[in-house]
Structures are given as C-alpha cells and as structure tokens.
C-alpha cells in the first residue's frame, strides 16, 4: 500500500485539502470561509484552530480514518529565502510562519496546520517549494540600487513540479536540463532553470515582470515615484495598483483571463489590445531568460490557468517558438505537487531539508 497523505493549501478565504494514496488523489475539497468568519480573527495565526476544526470535521464526514495517514503536507509560506525542496516542519519554521518573517499571508497557515494535525498523530509534517525558494545567481540580484536587490518570489511549487514532470517524460535528469518555465495565472512568473536551479526569475508576488490578470508588472519607475508623492494615494492604494488591482483588473475590470478572451473574440478593441500586450510582454520575458541560458534551451514550458487558452498558446508559439520547443502543461495541480514532494522524501528519493 502506498503512503497516505493529507494535503492542506490555505487561501485567504478558503482552505483546499486533498487526500492522496501515493500520487492517486482519493478526494479533494475546497472549504470556503465567509468574510464574516475571517474578520473575527485579528491575525492570520489566530485562524489556526478555526481552520483545523473545519478540516477535521470534513474528514470525519467522509469517514476518513486519520490514523491511516503517513504524513501531512502544507503549502509553504512567507519564510526566509531557501533552497528548493521538501522541508520537515520544525519549531524555527513555525515561529517564522507565526510572525510572518517576510509578510503575513494565508499560505503561512499551511505548515502550522500540517504540523498541528500531524503532531496529534505522531507522524511527520512537511512543506514543499514555497514562493520564497531562492536559487538566484548573484549577478541576478543586482538591480542598480544597492538598497533594492532583486529577490526571488515566484510560483516555485508549480514551476518545479512541471520542470520535473518534463524531465521524467523526456528521460533526462532535471539537473541536466536548461528550461524556461512560464507560469501564467493571477500573476506571471518566468523562470530560467539551469541544471535543476532557478537562476533567474521575476518577483511575481510584488508584480515584477509581465503584467497579468491582477498584477501591473514592471511599470515606469519615475512615474510611479511621482504617483507615490502626489498626495492623492495612500501606500496601501499604491500597492493595490501594482498587486491586486493592476493588469486586466485596471484596464477591463476583471481578473478572469477567460473574460478578456471572450471580450477579445467579440471584437472589444481594448480587450484585444490588452491580450496582445500580455502575449507581447510574456514573450519579451522569455527572450530575456533565453539570454540568461546563453540561448541553450531544452524546452519552454507554458503552465498555469491561462495555458488552457489555445489562442494565447498559439500566439506565444508564433513569437517564441524559434527559441526552443514549446511544451504545454496547463493548470497548476498544487495538491498533487505537494504530495509528490512529500513522497520523494518518504520513498527515499530525496532527503528532507532542514529549515534554519
């Protein structure tokens, strides 16, 4: 019998869980939380028992025996910069997740919830490839302003998962490949993977790189500074223009790429221009990363929800197909990616890393 895993992926107003037997998903549930429920809690950490009880209750409703679990895996949060891999949750990690050492985010609850449930069962708890995975080369950190080094915050979980999937399917070790991975979802991250490490990538969390459904992307810095000091906007409002209310939201009042595609198909000129600009900017970022890899590209992987769009994929192929072979893995199966990370440790393929 394969290892049985409980996977926990917390969002701001939901908690997605899944139960896996090996890589086979037995079931998954998205547990929705109303704004009234969430607003009762002063901090994200205060939500722990509330979310844990909901998880346990739904498992009981499904008559699932928690004692059959081999491990519990949580989505990694805003921890210190770290190497890619699967990490066993320890006290140092729990403390950093509690205080939000790099910011408060619902994903910080993943490791804490996993540890709390696993601790009661006397089994291990893990996190896998959080957004703060940092494998940048030193030259990639230089921004031009010493006080503002470039940082690595991106869709590490999905980028690593699809890179390893391609490695397995192509029969070439991940550590022997040069790949460009393009994650296209609410945010966009374009990573240069060389020999198993993401040596350069845009800070997708803070909106750097191509614009996206709800990120502004890299914007004109001078104009941004003048906007900040105009006296018309608070810091929160400015950040909202970059993250959350930028991109498609700002131009078309929707963060759903499907809406933009539909409007474009109907002939909406603004939607057509925004879609073209999105493809244009993503293509430029791929070209940029191709220079990081000296033009030696084994494959360009398109992934994330927007990769389901035949229109976007076909237009990207026209612009970047000359750089390398295009591979499309649409969507982002985060629950499976988390399960696979834990299985690599439980089966002895990898060693669990220690968070310090």
Q: How confident is the model over 123-158, as pLDDT tens digits?
A: 999 999 999 999 999 999 999 999 999 999 999 999
pTM: 0.92
Provide φ and ψ at 167, rounded to 5°: -55, -45
Q: How confident is the model over 312-350, as pLDDT tens digits?
A: 999 999 999 999 999 999 998 899 999 999 999 999 999
Distance CA(73)–CA(355), nearest Å, equals 15
The candidate with the shortest Cα–Cα distance to 335, out of 20, 94, 13, is 20
Q: Which residue has the higher pLDDT, 217 or 14?
A: 217
Mean pLDDT of 221-228: 96
100-104, 268-272, 318-322: lowest mean pLDDT where? Answer: 100-104
* pLDDT at position 82 over 80: yes
Q: How confident is the model over 191-217, as pLDDT tens digits?
A: 999 999 999 999 998 889 999 999 999
Instruction: Check residue 222 and give its pLDDT.
Output: 96
Distance CA(318)–CA(184), nearest Å, equals 17
* pLDDT at position 1 over 80: no
Confidence category of residue 66, pLDDT binned at 50, 70, 90? very high
Averaged pLDDT of the chain? 96
Contact 215/247 with Cβ under 8 angstroms?
yes
Domains and CATH numbers, the chain: 4-134+335-354 (3.30.420.40), 156-331 (3.30.420.40)
DSSP 45: G
Instruction: Check residue 300 and give its pLDDT.
Output: 98
- What is the Cα gyration radius of the chain? 21
């Amino acid at each position: 019998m394969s290892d049985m895993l409980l996977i926990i992926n917390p969002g701001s107003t939901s908690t997605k869980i899944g139960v896996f037997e090996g890589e086979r998903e037995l079931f998954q549930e998205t547990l929705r939380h109303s704004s009234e429920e969430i607003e009762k809690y002063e901090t994200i950490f205060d939500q722990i028992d509330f979310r844990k009880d909901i998880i346990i209750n739904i498992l009981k409703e499904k008559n699932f025996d928690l004692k059959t679990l081999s491990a519990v895996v949580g989505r990694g949060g805003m921890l210190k910069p770290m190497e890619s891999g699967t990490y066993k949750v320890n006290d140092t990690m729990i403390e950093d997740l509690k205080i939000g050492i790099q910011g408060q985010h619902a994903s910080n609850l993943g490791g804490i919830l996993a540890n709390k449930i696993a601790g009661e069962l006397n089994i291990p708890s893990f996190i896998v490839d959080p957004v703060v995975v940092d494998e940048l080369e030193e030259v990639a950190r230089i921004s031009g302003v010493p006080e503002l080094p470039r940082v690595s915050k991106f869709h590490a979980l999905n980028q690593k998962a699809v890179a390893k999937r391609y490695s397995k399917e192509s029969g070439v070790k991940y550590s022997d490949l040069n790949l460009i991975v393009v994650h296209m979802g609410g945010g966009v991250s374009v990573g240069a993977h060389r020999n198993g490490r993401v040596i350069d990538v845009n800070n997708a969390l803070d909106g750097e790189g191509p614009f996206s459904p709800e990120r502004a992307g890299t914007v004109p810095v001078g104009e941004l500074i003048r906007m900040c000091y105009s006296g018309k906007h608070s810091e929160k409002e400015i950040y909202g223009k970059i993250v959350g209310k930028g991109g498609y939201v700002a131009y078309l009042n929707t963060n759903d790429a499907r809406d933009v595609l539909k409007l474009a198909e109907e002939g909406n000129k603004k939607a057509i221009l925004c879609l073209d600009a999105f493809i244009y900017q993503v293509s430029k970022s791929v070209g940029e990363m191709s220079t990081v890899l000296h033009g030696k590209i084994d494959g360009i992987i398109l992934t994330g929800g927007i990769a389901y769009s035949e229109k976007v994929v076909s237009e990207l192929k026209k612009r970047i197909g000359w750089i390398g072979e295009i591979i499309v893995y649409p969507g982002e199966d985060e629950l499976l990616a988390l399960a696979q990370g834990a299985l690599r440790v439980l089966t002895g393929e990898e060693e669990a890393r220690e968070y310090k």
